[in-house]
Structure 1
């Protein structure tokens, strides 16, 4: 273990590290907080890369931990960030102290989701990122939050619009092609926390229920009136869940 317990916050598709700024602002100072931009996202130093696969993102996580000298960390992955964390955990399980799947899944895309990814890829190729984001972000909120969180919606849309088109296209392809990693959960030598929005259309309640019993040690937080964005839809509850989970992991 590093002298300072490390938490790594991994953003999702067409997001950036900025999704975690408010969420982690008041975390205790004894934690080392990493919230990197994946290559090709946000204000990354390497805005375009050749490989956007989950395996490549897993190697990026490995480099980030090496950069700060952390031998282990709790990984907190939102959506695509969770897919990348699972890829890392598959190859480097000893470096995972704990895993938080924040509206994320170890299951691959089914045929229906793959077809939808292909439709979205075609749409972006024809119409561009800005038009795509005007319809992509809204359904990520629960119905009850769609109108009350217009500022948050606008911020996420702007974040998506500022993502290079090459990253958007390659990111959708990488998510479409990712493998089944439920065995990573079954064989986990680390505890897993699932944060689940009951109105999440991207990672449905049913999808999460099928996985929460797979790890040897797991807990879950199920949230009413929350879609795919619990870090803005219910920040107090989700922040407390992550902090409690981290405290239990590093107390051992």
Structure 2
């Protein structure tokens, strides 16, 4: 209860101050920037930045040295804040690392950086080197799922397991709503106004958690502000070779999740992954959209715990 109170108190105070002062926009931006950090802290995560050579990667991590490592990777245009409600279930038994990948969150953006999947995989390997982690379980959503598979193929000796959550990286047999929009020349991630943001946000989750209107307004403002940056990242990200011909090289124990209501990446992609990855474990979430680890965090965490516990002992504990 104390942790819940710590999370609610800043929110209540900010809402009261906002109503009294009429500072709706400022309060929304403050909440968007800070409350998720406070929540992550309540779950036992600390914020830090790790110099990997060409940049400093911001991240959440718990202080659990010597435990098996899990790396959790966010999707395109998202950041590390999508993971803590899922990740809190692993803080006792694992060393959890949740980075803001290049171009995202507190790591920031630089137009000179390469945002392709091979480049991001090299950065992930460099991050593990800096943290003195030889091997890790890797789980990633969307672009992070594409990166998870890319990393597992490129660095098999460093991948204890690979879990892809509604991942990009293959062509779906049936086009998603997003793919139809892209084919028509419109990228729903590149936001110009609040109406476009609301339409886009509705595509991201079938069961979104509650967020105050002022926070959604702040999110919309951030997308508008970052439009040119996101366009650059999208171009680099989609320049990466798709994985159909490489999936058989994913040798680590692997699991695939998909929400059957995903409007960004169509659930029909499951058949492509299953045809390509040997001994892939698959789970379809009914009534869930693109982000199961946010929409049904506890259910997804239980599924992931079961997967990790069923791995051979030498893999799960290395």
1:7/1:74 contact within 8 Å kept: yes
Deviation at 1:154, TM superposition (A): 7.8
Structure 1 segment 143-158 matched on structure 2, within 5 A = 145=207, 149-151=209-211, 158=218
Q: Deviations over 1:178-212 (max 9, x none)?
A: 21213443122211111111111222221112322
Higher relative contact order (Cα pairs below 8 Å, separated by 6+ residues)? 1
Take 1:30 and 1:138, find their aligned partners in 2: how far apart are those partners? Answer: 35
Take 2:216 and 2:100, find their aligned partners in 1: how far apart are those partners? Answer: 15
Take 1:108 and 1:102, find their aligned partners in 2: how far apart are those partners? Answer: 15
Of the candidates 140, 147, 152, which is equivalent to residue 204 of structure 2? 140
Take 2:148 and 2:273, find their aligned partners in 1: how far apart are those partners? Answer: 16
Over 3 Å counting, the alpha-carbon distance change for 1:68 and 1:207 in structure 2 is same
Q: Which residue of 2 aligns with 1:116?
A: 182
Structure 1 segment 1-252 matched on structure 2, within 5 A = 3-44=66-107, 46-50=108-112, 51-108=114-171, 113=179, 116=182, 119-120=185-186, 124=190, 128=192, 132-142=196-206, 145=207, 149-151=209-211, 158-159=218-219, 161-162=221-222, 164-249=226-311, 251-252=313-314
* Secondary structure of 2:161 counterpart: strand
Deviation at 1:25, TM superposition (A): 1.4
Take 1:86 and 1:193, find their aligned partners in 2: how far apart are those partners? Answer: 10
Take 1:96 and 1:177, find their aligned partners in 2: how far apart are those partners? Answer: 24
Number of corresponding residues: 244
1:74/1:96 contact within 8 Å kept: yes
TM-score with structure 1 length normalisation?
A: 0.83
Q: Deviations over 1:208-246 (max 9, x none)?
A: 123224322221111110110111221122111122222
Gaps of 5+ in 2: 1-64
Take 2:100 and 2:189, find their aligned partners in 1: how far apart are those partners? Answer: 25
Take 1:122 and 1:232, find their aligned partners in 2: how far apart are those partners? Answer: 20
Take 2:269 and 2:123, find their aligned partners in 1: how far apart are those partners? Answer: 27
1:194/1:221 contact within 8 Å kept: yes
Take 1:158 and 1:30, find their aligned partners in 2: how far apart are those partners? Answer: 35
Of residues 133-142 and 226-235 in structure 1, the stretch that sits farther from structure 2 once superposed is: 133-142
1:191/1:215 contact within 8 Å kept: no
* Secondary structure of 1:137 counterpart: helix
Please give the root-mean-square deviation of Cα atoms over the aligned residues, in Å.
3.0
Give the greater-gyration-radius structure (CA).
2
Gaps of 5+ in 1: none
1:140/1:228 contact within 8 Å kept: yes
Take 2:293 and 2:216, find their aligned partners in 1: how far apart are those partners? Answer: 12
Q: Which residue of 1 aligns with 2:34?
A: none
1:12/1:80 contact within 8 Å kept: yes
Take 1:83 and 1:11, find their aligned partners in 2: how far apart are those partners? Answer: 10
Deviation at 1:19, TM superposition (A): 0.5
